[in-house]
Homo-oligomer: A and B are copies of this chain.
Amino acid sequence: MSRPTIHAPERGDARTRLLDAARDLIRERGYAGTSIDDLCRSAGVSKGAFFHHFAHKLALGVAAAWHWAETTTAFFAAAPYHAPADPLDRVLAYIAFRRSIIAGPIPGFVCLVGTLASEVYVTGPAIRDAAALSIFGHAATLEADIAAAMAERSIASPEPASLARYFQVALQGGFILAKAGNEAALAREALDHLDRYIRLLFNLPLETRHAATH
């Protein structure tokens, strides 16, 4: 209450509105391709509001990466793939879940921090580090299930941490091909290969469920 006084904007305070705008615009046009004016226009705030919350554009980039890490962490923590009792089933359910959310316009499901890391490797080390924290932090959430699944079946071969990172490789690489080919199915296809890789590693029968979806 008392929050939206007179010229109530749309929702949330200027800071989160700017971070949401950054998430959307950067995934479409990249970091350098998104101007501060673009962000303010999209968020419906003034430039003064921008520089009240962020010291400079780079700080917005870092904050956007952190914001991405926070929101995705909450999103995946609440996702249904944690339900199965068998850790291997949870791992496979993760892949299926990631696959299921690849739909609609490409910028809508692509990874913000992957785009950021790719673009600002030299120009913005601070953004890159924040992006790395998000990517590798998320990969780490898979590690326990992978390790448990491997231990249960006495599979020693790839290190669980390395395999967990490879999940992100398949995702990020799938996003790149989806963008290039302008076709979301290319990202799903990548996850199908990841799924097959895991099933081969664990000597599971290969499902053919996805064959028709391509």
In contact, B135 and A107 (Cβ under 8 angstroms): no
In chain B, what residue has the closest Cβ to A29? B123
Contact status of A181 and B32, CB under 8 A, knowing A173-B173, A197-B197: no
A171 CB to closest chain B CB (Å) equals 7
A51 close to chain B: CB less than 8 A: no
For window 4-49 of A, CB contacts with B under 8 Å fall at 28-33
Residues from chain B with a CB closer than 8 A to the CB of A192 are 158, 162
In contact, B118 and A28 (Cβ under 8 angstroms): no
Residues from chain B with a CB closer than 8 A to the CB of A201 are 196, 200
Contact status of A30 and B28, CB under 8 A, knowing A106-B121, A157-B196: no
Cα A157 to Cα B197 with chains together (Å): 12
B-contacting 9-mer, from A70-78, A95-103, A109-117, A144-152: A109-117
| A-B contact sample (15 more), CB < 8 A, given A107-B121, A166-B189 | A29-B119, A29-B121, A30-B118, A30-B120, A32-B33, A106-B121, A113-B180, A118-B118, A121-B179, A158-B196, A162-B193, A165-B189, A165-B190, A166-B193, A173-B174
Q: Which residues of A contact B (CB under 8 A)?
A: 28-33, 106-107, 113-115, 117-123, 128, 131-132, 135-136, 157-158, 162-163, 165-166, 168-177, 179-182, 186, 189-190, 192-193, 196-197, 200-201, 206, 214
